[in-house]
Structure 1
Amino acid sequence: MRIEQKLQSTLWANEALQKLKEELDALLSSDSLHIPKEPGGWWHQYVCPEHHVELLFDPAERDAHSFQCPHGCRIEGEAYRGAWLVFKHQSMARYALQAAAIYAGINEPSYAELAKQIIINYAAQFPQYPVHPDAQPWMLKGRAFHQALTEAIWSTTILRAYLLLHDEGVGFNETEKATLDAFLSMLEESMVQYRQILIHDRQNAENNYTAWLNASLSCVYAIRGQQELLQGLIDGEGGWKHHLSIGVKPDQFEFEGSTYYHIFVLRAYLISAEMAERFGVDLYHIQAEQDQSMRGMFDVLVGLADDQGMLPALHDGPLARVPFAREIAEIMEIGLAHYGNELYAPLLGEAYRQMDGEARRISLEALVYGEGDANLTNAGLLAGRNTLLLKDSGFIVGRKAGNPLSYLADFGPHGGSHGHYDKLHVSIQYEGGTFTPDLGVVPYGSSLRKQWFAETVSHNTVSIDGQSQAEHSGLCKLFTESEQAVYTWLQSDEAYEGCILNRHLLLSGEWLLDWFEVQLSEERTIDWWMHPLVKPHAADGAWVRNSDGLGALGYAGHGYDQVKLTDYYETEEGDSLGLAEQLDLLLTPKMLTLQYTPDSDTTKSLHQSIVAFPGMSLLRVETPGTSIDPSQALSGLLQRQMGKQANFIQIYKLGPAVHASWEASEATGTVETNNEASTIEHAHVIGMNSSHGQLVISTRSQEAVCVLDREQGLVVTWRDKHE
């Protein structure tokens, strides 16, 4: 749909165009639309070395050699200058598209001239850039930027601006055409060369680079009208169809298991599809060999999002970042236009909220790619979604009707260079967002990327002896859904030598049970981590300030350097669950309760009931914050046990805490089930297993008796209270 038509047929397009026009007019009046002669560097270096937060970028700034951190730091240096230049070049390309879009809406020639000026000036300047001498050795080197990848992305924005002008009948004189032709030829030569290196020389066709090299070349061939070359780019080795079949797993998630790179690749696919559509070729409904499709890639994002439409930062990727929100908005606008799935709207609304503070369509992404008048504020659309199991990628989202809590667990492949040491990580979500998210990752130029955010201790899982997990894959041993609950049994036997990790997640209509069992071949220190966004408070005990100067936890490296011990938990009877000499003060298992209250809203309080076993330390720790701003520390939770075996048992519930009890037994026995071991609703307990006890969880109408069996997993007997 043409922009001129959107102004007539939608409720939002006129306001969006006016906002974009005012922004561009202000930049023109301040003479800020200046194209730097220097090539850009690597944007990931645009990060404060002290606070590890992305530096501020003002597109109205004509030039800059000193760069400001949100916390007031002023930083100088060639690396920061190069990164700033990336932002500047990208913003100029965006303004070319913005000017073209405004012209398409109101037919004011000055905006067409502005867009042409940016496009032609870049076309003239591009041949002046050498292959970047300062690029890092591992990079595919670009000209206008350190990375060929950045160059491909930037070029698609420039070329889409050109095509929008062309569609609106804007002409170019012979000199301008010659300049543009030279640019296209050099860009094509570079992208073809990079594809040869990546696909054939390195045998790495599945790389996310490939999708963007294809997208850039697709734009070149669309401008030239070269359908045969574009078709070869779709059908050939490393082409659109081939990349979809190897770069996306059969469960529709990008092969690195990263939400960020999933969206990154999908955006490139959509640009290629947009160019193919100009020749009457439909890629929007193509399926690859194992049924991978762009529609499937959209739908898996709907399944992963929390109830507010916010996407989790699985593996490498920011938790939230305005340029990333723009990318989400772009693909979701296109997805809505082509597939019409109303469940995309809450994700689009959340992207706009991150960009502009509210969920409304006033951005360039809306004006260029949006259609219709979808309701972006109806987050309730997502509340009734089903459980999602991504068997190939190794993620599961557990949901149960009637329970506002859900969970997202990671058990799959490491994720290559963009993976984290995070197997059996669990995020707890609720109707208002996520309590314990994956914290995301900072720009790669920050030392905290590897020193904290990729390490095991920054995730909601278990670490052993102060070490991070090995790079490996876990597995889903069992997944069942019944009338009473959703049950997931996850296992890892390669995280540490001589170690088996089992995590059992049982989601009923009212509560979530998380039972993490660790089995070791020898006695070791076992740390269970939880990183909530709100501070854990003691509901039936007290926190005792750590006053002995032990800020560290006995280990160095692997993220432990970033953790500060702040408090010990003390029970109402005065038992202090601290470290070392205090370990044996708790003589019998005890139920403890913690409370988390976001935004001072007690109706949304999450209660965590903990089975505290003898020998457990329950500690509150201070850690770096999320990747949005690591300098804003979080108050996390650490449970430590020492030995050859440990059980960490938590029951979560919104509102009043669940009533739970631990019934210990000295005897061991067996667990029988009626017929199928894989169906938890028929379990009948006839003895105790190696966990030496059973957990009883009670509600007004029902009790669940939970016993852990190493052959069958978590076996549950459901008992009605009136029986």
Structure 2
Amino acid sequence: MRLFSEATIEQARQKIGSTSWAAEGWQAVQHRVAEWHRRPGQIPEEAGGWIHNYICPEHWLPLRYNGNLSDYHACPAGHVCAGKKYDAAWRVWRHRQIADLAREAALAYVVLGVESGRETAVSILAQYAGFYSRLDGQSDAETWMLTGHAFNQALTEALWAIPLIHTYDLVADTLDSTLQAQLTQDLWQPLANVMTRAQDKLIAQNRIESNYMAWLNVTIGCLGFALNDPALIERAVQPPAGFTAHLDKAIFADGLEYEGSPYYHNFVLLAYLILAEAAKVNNVNLYTVTGSQGQTLTGMGCAFAQLAWPDGSIPDLSDGSYWQDSIYDSEICQAFEILNAAQPRNKFAWILRAAYRRQNATQDNWAALLYGPGETTTTGSVATGHTILKKSGIAVLRTDKMLAALVPFGPYRGSHHQYDRLSLTVWPFSRDAGSPLYGLPARKAWYPHSYAHNTLVVDGQSHANCGGELLDWDGHCLTTSAPEAYPGVTFKRTTEMKENTILDKVAVQSNETHTFDWVFHLDGDIKSPLDSQPLSGPLANGGAGSYIKLHSQSHVNESVSFDINYRSNFYRLTLTGEQPFTLLLGKSPGTSRYPQQRRHVLIGRTVGTQQRYQTTIVQL
């Protein structure tokens, strides 16, 4: 084996007898492998499409994957979707499921001595080698895609390939020379060509920092180590686009991936931890590699943990896999099982425990069974105090109560950017809107826009593609501005956390008359003593505002308060205006995790040249 050490395999065996979770995890693996061996599933001999199409356009919910039904795609709300794009998206899930099963089968053979596991693993590899050349994933790919061969996207192909390369490495010593040659000629060499061609395209486009690069590199690198190909190894690790160059280019000095998306940060981290473990077996230590600004793999893990809310969940910032039953938590578990074994930290164990709890899952994934040091028994929150990642432009303010706040003020982040500069996310009852699967029209029409976030909207328009600025931070009070958000408009926000209270101030000023909308979304139940007038219809006739449905309005001379009940935790929100304003009340689409659960939205509207809003949120 060139990707897994004998010591790692032996430790996995020993944990079966010493830890209950490992024994139970391997039993689950054996069961899945035995079920496949007893009734082998059919491997689709067609390319996979775009996984982001696997969403119901009516209910905005991910479709329920069933590996036995290639043309029946049911929404949890009861709607059934049909058509080629759904079938092609289903094939992505199916191919990835089979690749994961192949790795589990190979592990069952190597760790447990299950011969049927070896037979299953070899059969899957041989079948893919038999028809890989006939796949044509690029034929129906969209023009913007970095195309693959077995899938529309090279990125998807890399995600599918890694467990298959692991599978090969685990059983390679048992293969005869004929099958070895077939796999090399018909699968691994063509796959390497797809990956290196995609890598070269990103280099030519000056997109070395792309999160795609991490998964291209890990695939190229694992192929290089498994096949003992020095040229592929050098491509994966060295400049111009290998691990060392990508770490330096894509990761900020504070440890966060440049897009400011926790999802894509962990996505990149997982790829490089897989590469680091393979490299370690071959006497190359990527854990000690340090970028020009101090970036390291351990630092990436720490930056991710620093973003956590007090319950261990992670804010849904920018784009990402922020939908029901997504693979996000599973990827967190894989990444932090590897990282916590290699570089143990209490915060890593805590992140792990929270991710398993959210999934209601056991430690039966491949990374836990191979690398997991023990049961994730860390208790209590390690997300205490405040976090400010100045380069990334993210501040998280926490108390020891059920109350925390986040303000993003960082730079424009490219294609996964959302129009949420200087927004105020309040945990636990006013979280970020998130991002659904990208094939949903509302993913572009609603979720990224300023009206979907707790920020200031001017004249009904989202702010410009811009970043914000940090004006002051004294350890507990944050002052930020967004001078380029709206031309001719000065926009500042000051946010302070004290014990059980958030004090937030928004100041806006212009030489011309504008409509200034202070926006705040929340979940739970709300009550207000303010008399209001009925109102019916959308906030706007087009654009993101059309997704907000108003039901009442009030005139506010000075301030208005709302009592909030969120899961039996009680809060009071008081909004005060320096000048009188109109309060609009309505409902907005639910977060991308629960899109059918419409949210309350409060809009403080001022028409004029200036306004100062102060919001006080107190946990009662």
Shared fold (TM-score, shorter chain, > 0.5): yes
Choose from 35, 45, 49 the match for 1:37. Answer: 45
Please name the residue that 2:563 is paired with: 595
Give distance in 1, aligned partners of 2:36 and 2:485.
53
Give distance in 1, aligned partners of 2:112 and 2:189.
33
Structure 1 residues 318 and 619, CA gap change in structure 2 (3 angstroms): farther
- 1:292-335 per-residue CA deviation (whole Å, 9 max, x = no partner) reads 11101100111101111111111001335431211111001011
Please name the residue that 2:103 is paired with: 97
Please name the residue that 2:549 is paired with: 564
Choose from 375, 378, 390 the match for 2:377. Answer: 375
Please name the residue that 2:576 is paired with: 611
Please name the residue that 1:516 is paired with: 506
One-letter amino acid of the structure 1 residue matched with residue 108 of structure 2: I
Structure 1 residues 448 and 369, CA gap change in structure 2 (3 angstroms): farther
Counterpart mapping for 1:135-534 below 5 A: 135-166=141-172, 171-182=174-185, 183-199=187-203, 201-227=204-230, 229-320=232-323, 321-355=325-359, 357=360, 360-376=362-378, 378=379, 380-383=380-383, 385-400=384-399, 402=400, 404-429=402-427, 434-481=428-475, 486-534=476-524
One-letter amino acid of the structure 1 residue matched with residue 131 of structure 2: Q
Q: Which has the higher contact order (CA 8 A, sep 6+)?
A: 2
Is the CA contact (8 Å cut-off) linking 1:318 and 1:628 kept in structure 2? no
One-letter amino acid of the structure 1 residue matched with residue 595 of structure 2: P
Is the CA contact (8 Å cut-off) linking 1:51 and 1:631 kept in structure 2? yes
Give distance in 2, aligned partners of 1:351 and 1:403.
21
Q: CA deviation at 1:23?
A: 3.3
Structure 1 residues 292 and 141, CA gap change in structure 2 (3 angstroms): same
- 1:344-375 per-residue CA deviation (whole Å, 9 max, x = no partner) reads 122212222333x25x4244442233222331
Q: CA deviation at 1:382?
A: 1.8
Is the CA contact (8 Å cut-off) linking 1:420 and 1:455 kept in structure 2? yes
Give distance in 1, aligned partners of 2:274 and 2:346.
22
Counterpart mapping for 1:46-57 below 5 A: 46-57=54-65
One-letter amino acid of the structure 2 residue matched with residue 519 of structure 1: Q
Structure 1 residues 125 and 6, CA gap change in structure 2 (3 angstroms): farther
Is the CA contact (8 Å cut-off) linking 2:424 and 2:454 kept in structure 1? yes
Q: CA deviation at 1:32?
A: 5.5
Greater helix share, structure number: 2
Give distance in 2, aligned partners of 1:286 and 1:513.
42
Is the CA contact (8 Å cut-off) linking 2:49 and 2:137 kept in structure 1? no
Is the CA contact (8 Å cut-off) linking 2:524 and 2:565 kept in structure 1? yes
Query: Is 1:83–2:48 an aligned residue pair?
Result: no
Q: CA deviation at 1:463?
A: 0.4
Structure 1 residues 25 and 617, CA gap change in structure 2 (3 angstroms): farther
One-letter amino acid of the structure 2 residue matched with residue 596 of structure 1: I
Query: What stretches of structure 2 of length at least 5 have no aligned partner?
Result: 1-7
Is the CA contact (8 Å cut-off) linking 1:552 and 1:564 kept in structure 2? yes
- 1:523-565 per-residue CA deviation (whole Å, 9 max, x = no partner) reads 1111111122223322xx056472x5x3122x33331111000
Q: Which SS does the other structure have where 1:348 is aligned?
A: helix
Is the CA contact (8 Å cut-off) linking 1:457 and 1:558 kept in structure 2? no
Is the CA contact (8 Å cut-off) linking 1:535 and 1:636 kept in structure 2? no
Give distance in 2, aligned partners of 1:595 and 1:258.
32
Is the CA contact (8 Å cut-off) linking 2:263 and 2:321 kept in structure 1? yes
Give distance in 2, aligned partners of 1:74 and 1:130.
27
Moved more, 611-620 or 210-219: 611-620
Task: Tell me the TM-score normalized by structure 1.
Answer: 0.81
One-letter amino acid of the structure 2 residue matched with residue 373 of structure 1: E
Structure label with greater radius of gyration: 1
Is the CA contact (8 Å cut-off) linking 2:37 and 2:120 kept in structure 1? no
One-letter amino acid of the structure 1 residue matched with residue 295 of structure 2: Q
Please name the residue that 1:72 is paired with: 78
Q: CA deviation at 1:637?
A: 1.8
Q: CA deviation at 1:614?
A: 4.8
Is the CA contact (8 Å cut-off) linking 1:308 and 1:346 kept in structure 2? no
Query: Is 1:5–2:4 an aligned residue pair?
Result: no
Give distance in 1, aligned partners of 2:444 and 2:327.
22
Q: What is the percentage of aligned positions where both structures have the same residue? A: 31
Is the CA contact (8 Å cut-off) linking 1:536 and 1:637 kept in structure 2? no
- 1:71-97 per-residue CA deviation (whole Å, 9 max, x = no partner) reads 111111111111011010011101111
Give distance in 2, aligned partners of 1:414 and 1:452.
19
One-letter amino acid of the structure 1 residue matched with residue 117 of structure 2: Y
Q: CA deviation at 1:612?
A: 4.7
Please name the residue that 2:5 is paired with: none
Structure 1 residues 366 and 247, CA gap change in structure 2 (3 angstroms): same
- 1:445-501 per-residue CA deviation (whole Å, 9 max, x = no partner) reads 0001111101000011010111110000110100002xxxx1100101111111111
Is the CA contact (8 Å cut-off) linking 1:101 and 1:367 kept in structure 2? no
Q: CA deviation at 1:54?
A: 0.8
Q: CA deviation at 1:45?
A: 0.6
One-letter amino acid of the structure 2 residue matched with residue 116 of structure 1: V
Structure 1 residues 32 and 50, CA gap change in structure 2 (3 angstroms): farther
Is the CA contact (8 Å cut-off) linking 2:47 and 2:137 kept in structure 1? no
Q: Which SS does the other structure have where 1:472 is aligned?
A: coil
Query: What stretches of structure 1 of length at least 5 have no aligned partner?
Result: 569-576, 578-582, 656-723
Choose from 626, 634, 637 the match for 2:602. Answer: 637
Structure 1 residues 121 and 543, CA gap change in structure 2 (3 angstroms): farther
Q: CA deviation at 1:233?
A: 2.9
Please name the residue that 2:112 is paired with: 106
Report the number of matched residues: 609
One-letter amino acid of the structure 2 residue matched with residue 597 of structure 1: N
Moved more, 365-374 or 302-311: 365-374
Q: Which SS does the other structure have where 1:284 is aligned?
A: helix
Query: Is 1:551–2:551 an aligned residue pair?
Result: no
Give distance in 1, aligned partners of 2:589 and 2:148.
34
- 1:193-243 per-residue CA deviation (whole Å, 9 max, x = no partner) reads 1111111x2121111111111111111111112346414531221111000
RMSD (Å) for aligned C-alpha atoms: 1.8
Give distance in 1, aligned partners of 2:154 and 2:531.
53
Is the CA contact (8 Å cut-off) linking 2:579 and 2:611 kept in structure 1? no
One-letter amino acid of the structure 2 residue matched with residue 490 of structure 1: T
Structure 1 residues 190 and 567, CA gap change in structure 2 (3 angstroms): same
One-letter amino acid of the structure 2 residue matched with residue 135 of structure 1: A
